[in-house]
Structure 1
Amino acid sequence: MTPAVQSPTVLRGVGVGRRGVVGPVAQVRPAPHVAADAPLLVDGVPADAATAHTRVEQAFTDVAVGLRDQAGRASGTVADVLAATAQMADDRALRAQVLAKVDAGEPVVSAVDGVVTMFATMFERAGGYLAERVTDLRSVRDRVVARVLDLPAPGVPELTEPSVVVARDLAPADTAALDLRHVLAIVTELGGPTGHTAIIAGQLGLPCVVRVSGVTDLADGTVVAVDAADGTVTTDPDDEQRAALVARAEVERTLAADTAPGGTSDGHLVALLANIGTAEDAERVGPTAVEGVGLFRTEVLFLERTTAPTVEEQTEVYERTLRALGDRKVVVRTLDAGADKPLAFATQPDEENPALGVRGFRLVRTNPDLIDTQLAALAAAQQATGARPWVMAPMIATPAEARDFAARARAQGLAQVGVMVEVPAAALRAREILAEVDFVSLGTNDLAQYAMATDRLRGELADLLDPWQPAVLDLVAATARAGLELGKPVGVCGESASDPVLALVLVGLGVTSLSMSAGAVPAVRYALRHHTAEQCRAMADAALVAGAAPEARAAVVALLHSSVRSTLGL
């Protein structure tokens, strides 16, 4: 066992959320370390190629079945990603290439690892959604190798007390296997704030810190303080730090008790909405104090399928979502897939740079039925429920694209039509785009990625993707200014909306609604409630004139009401 790290030690990473906890470390079991040329033994005798073929094929099947069983016991996003990982274990191309190598006499471990490495390299080069799937792919590899060689399956150990789960990286299948009665937080050495682990941790309400170098060197049982707000993991925390985390938890409970509509202290209303990905998510946030849904990511319905979902299948999901929210606003984003989120039924071949390829609304160029069918299903759900969903298209770059989408949506009887602003060209021409639609919503994650020419999955470039980057704020300001001039709503549904300090800046720029994970709403509501609209505008001005992201945030924090700084621990 690795010796315990001497205290005090502070390890730094990227935090997801604002919560903090203290508890003992429970390290996830690593993947089996087996030599690539290790023979497969059956009753102590090396297996022949035919036996190896059978064992490998059965191992893939068993892993897929096990993952699907876990998916069946899970719900929401957890179930979706488990099903997606099971689909990967079932992938014909992956399995066929491994079996071909085994049939040719290559050792089993070498065959599995070689093919998975090839696929992983392809996914990483593709970037985006595929890059996020590499962890799942490697999890399938490790499970298959362990199954073939009759080794213990890698993953989370049995937890007997509330613990901080630590891993080099954590696959969704491992996350879903957690006994939540005994999980305090999740910490990983790899990963990113937009990866599956972070998404699931957010759904489960667990503090999460990713990209924490050295955390896997901690011994099991080492007591740590996990602070998602600061992005730190501290070994053997002192009484002062423990007390601070307890006090923060009490503050969060107090803030959550406030259910009033979002707005500034002088009555300027700002809708506080939730981001969701499934109908189950809608049913979960329905009873909470959110004013609606500002982003319904519908691509979960489409991914990992061999055929597109039918109008009836989609209508049922949209109906459930609309009924869960009652008369509250629901903004539905049409399919954001293609290229880096490949669809088996609409794959674009040979795209060298998928992030700049045929994705989002651009799919209408090659497969217009996908968009038209989805709009028809939304119209059917509207008719069935009496609710009036807002609908918006992703990856809009020109006024002509906005006009095309608006015409298609309105032809189906959908009245509130908008588009996403996540391409700098759309922000720069926001006035012309808003002339074609009823509203826009800023996707600040992709907007930062495209503005800064930086892959948002590259952890070493995280500083360039900071939403406080003045250049990104300039694009937000240009869009919000166009909305104010034309009297049309401009929302933000990227992660920047969940930062209570940045939320004040966004409101000061003219943003009219903020959409985030439901758990982030109370702190944002509180920050707004303690500042006037004029103070928000002053904060926005201070951020825009800053020379760099840290300076922008520091300038705004300096302008915060003292009680807000104290309550939020700033």
Structure 2
Amino acid sequence: MTGAPVGAPAGALHGVGVGRGAAVGPVALVRAAPAVDPGAPLLVDGVEAAPARVRETVERAFDEVAAGLREQAAAATGTVRDVLAATAQMADDTALRGQVLTRIDSGEPPVAAVDGVVETFAGMFEQAGGYLAERVTDLRSVRDRVVARTLRLPEPGVPYLERPSVVVARDLAPADTAALDLTKVVAIVTELGGPTGHTAIIAGQLGLPCVVRVTGATGLEDGTVVAVDAAAGTVLPDPGEDVRAALERRRATEAMLADDTAPGATADGRAVGLLANIGTAADAERLVASAEGVGLFRTEVLFLDRATAPSVEEQAETYAAVLRAADGRKVVVRTLDAGADKPLAFATLPDEENPALGVRGYRLVRAHPELLDTQLAALGRARAATGASPWVMAPMVATPDEARDFATRARAAGVDTVGVMVEVPAAALRAADVLAEVDFVSLGTNDLAQYAMATDRLRGELADLLDMWQPAVLDLVAATARAGRATRKPVGVCGESAGDPLMALVLVGLGVTSLSMAPGALPAVRYALRRHTLLTCEEVADAALAARTAPEARAAALALVDPEVRTTLAL
């Protein structure tokens, strides 16, 4: 079982890979937004339309765009459905529409009115950062569609695909991604976006190789054959037969690895739980056989883009559906992780100067305790209805007192197994005290790195500071794992680092007991663990911890990995 590493061939464009997939195919460039003069009037039969006619036309365009997005959402499933529904809500947003129509009523040309209001909202989203910043692409997609319909121009988006192709765009909105004919899409490449954006999330759900933040991608000519390697984060134009053959061998190898659904363990039998991250009940219903359960159920999907919080009955129904779909397998539920990059209309506090350090995650209990109490009550009902006991954890816990308060609330609601997320350096440094209050912890390495390195994890130009191999971040993981061993309590990882086969060896060597990741990453991680003993994993971890920089840490770990594993997984 072999497959040669592809590496980064000369002439390749570089970006951030999402997952480990690879594909070869011709480029299909996504249609850009129509180039129109913002000051141009709306013409009807060659005559400038009256203000009332302009208002009616723009309002109808918004209605048609929203209806089209809702129709696409109804035909989609899982995360795709959710993000399409959220984008439809943007087209329906009364504040957005109202400001556009006010400008039109004052005599502003329709394109200028739509563009001006959208850019105002986009600036607000970008300033807020995080989840809202990721939605700027969706907002501008709504603008482009509304403008096209207003002026009776072809809507921008993905062209009709006559053959299996690599879709290349400056960025893709969920509506564009959902409109793809999956029988004719082999990969997605974008110049913008990030690994936590909608395009990346949907590509992961659909199992498509994806590389984002690829400078120069839209400069590729339509029809140019490219090799897309998400594991290496590269896009290579006109690949030779050697590259094609290497990618094909790797695809065949990873397909073979996926046939192994045995429980995760090291070569000498140390059990390591291999779990999947999900966001919806539909995701749980598609849970692959290779997952031993759910290591992270992101419940905030239930709350986002709503004017009011979901009822206890609605939540209980969703949680029960997830527990039934898991069919006896472990399910770890994260309570509402809102605020900062995931604001809620009914909970986010106004005028927070630095939302990432403000009232977010578990801290919402200070301002809105009813949100947590209702969610815990719903989880208690789901447990009673199904007979299955979820593990429940709170995000953004910083102190042992917060851990104790959460545990008290959760147990009073009927939750048997209570834990917290370790995302704040303070919680990692005092992990033994935190674990004295709860049954388990799970490391959110994305946020842990963000706070340890004082770096916004959505700023692509600072990606090197957020490298999962940063020794300072590994030190915090090691401190948490040591506390887990000392207290004999489970320590999991549910951040992106869990899905990297090489990092998985380090995490297990540090003492992590379970790893939760995107389902597609499970086969490679399972294979890497099975080819190394616990002692070797500990040696790999020690080598990474002793390094001075992130690149040195990764190189030191890689040097100790079984050569066949390096070759098979193209590490």
Q: Which residue of 2 aligns with 1:330?
A: 331
What are the ranges of 5 or more consecutive residues in structure 2 without an aligned counterpart? Answer: 1-8
Q: Which residue of 1 aligns with 2:451?
A: 450
Question: 8 Å contact 1:8–1:235 — kept in the other structure?
Answer: no
Residue 331 of structure 1 aligns with an amino acid whose one-letter code is V
Equivalence map 1:534-553=2 (5 Å): 534-553=535-554
Question: 8 Å contact 1:14–1:210 — kept in the other structure?
Answer: yes
Equivalence map 1:142-161=2 (5 Å): 142-161=144-163
Cα distance in 1 between the residues matched to 2:154 and 2:542:
58
**SS at 2:410 equivalent:** helix
Deviation at 1:35, TM superposition (A): 1.3
Cα distance in 1 between the residues matched to 2:354 and 2:89:
25
Equivalence map 1:416-427=2 (5 Å): 416-427=417-428
Question: 8 Å contact 2:498–2:517 — kept in the other structure?
Answer: yes
Cα distance in 2 between the residues matched to 1:253 and 1:349:
49
Deviation at 1:75, TM superposition (A): 0.2
Residue 161 of structure 2 aligns with an amino acid whose one-letter code is L
Deviation at 1:8, TM superposition (A): 7.2
Backbone CA RMSD of aligned residues: 1.0
Q: Which residue of 1 aligns with 2:402?
A: 401
Cα distance in 1 between the residues matched to 2:211 and 2:341:
25
Residue 418 of structure 1 aligns with an amino acid whose one-letter code is G
**SS at 2:337 equivalent:** coil
Q: Which residue of 2 aligns with 1:200?
A: 202
**SS at 2:267 equivalent:** coil
Cα distance in 1 between the residues matched to 2:52 and 2:10:
55
1:62 is the counterpart of 2:64: yes
Question: 8 Å contact 2:130–2:340 — kept in the other structure?
Answer: no
**SS at 1:437 equivalent:** coil
Match of 1:226 among 206, 228, 244: 228
Equivalence map 1:485-564=2 (5 Å): 485-564=486-565
Instruction: Say how many residue pairs are matched.
Output: 563
Deviation at 1:61, TM superposition (A): 1.1
What are the ranges of 5 or more consecutive residues in structure 1 without an aligned counterpart? Answer: 1-6
Question: 8 Å contact 1:8–1:237 — kept in the other structure?
Answer: no
Deviation at 1:46, TM superposition (A): 1.1
Runs of 4+ in 1 over 6 A off after TM superposition: none
**SS at 1:38 equivalent:** coil
Q: Deviations over 1:252-287 (max 9, x none)?
A: 1111111111010011100000000000000001x5
Cα distance in 2 between the residues matched to 1:347 and 1:443:
22
1:214 is the counterpart of 2:216: yes
Cα distance in 2 between the residues matched to 1:8 and 1:436:
54
Question: 8 Å contact 2:400–2:433 — kept in the other structure?
Answer: yes
Percent identical: 75
**SS at 2:559 equivalent:** helix
Question: 8 Å contact 1:147–1:153 — kept in the other structure?
Answer: yes
Question: 8 Å contact 2:390–2:417 — kept in the other structure?
Answer: yes
Residue 495 of structure 1 aligns with an amino acid whose one-letter code is E
Question: 8 Å contact 2:339–2:356 — kept in the other structure?
Answer: no
Q: Which residue of 2 aligns with 1:139?
A: 141
Equivalence map 1:61-210=2 (5 Å): 61-210=63-212
Residue 132 of structure 1 aligns with an amino acid whose one-letter code is E
**SS at 2:539 equivalent:** helix
Equivalence map 1:355-366=2 (5 Å): 355-366=356-367
Cα distance in 1 between the residues matched to 2:392 and 2:348:
24
Residue 51 of structure 1 aligns with an amino acid whose one-letter code is R
Q: Which residue of 2 aligns with 1:3?
A: none
Question: 8 Å contact 1:112–1:141 — kept in the other structure?
Answer: yes
Equivalence map 1:310-349=2 (5 Å): 310-349=311-350
Cα distance in 2 between the residues matched to 1:456 and 1:36:
35
Cα distance in 1 between the residues matched to 2:427 and 2:111:
49
Cα distance in 1 between the residues matched to 2:424 and 2:454:
11
Deviation at 1:347, TM superposition (A): 2.8
Deviation at 1:340, TM superposition (A): 2.9
1:482 is the counterpart of 2:483: yes
Residue 560 of structure 2 aligns with an amino acid whose one-letter code is L
Deviation at 1:118, TM superposition (A): 0.9
Q: Which residue of 1 aligns with 2:413?
A: 412
Residue 305 of structure 2 aligns with an amino acid whose one-letter code is E
TM-score using structure 2 length: 0.98
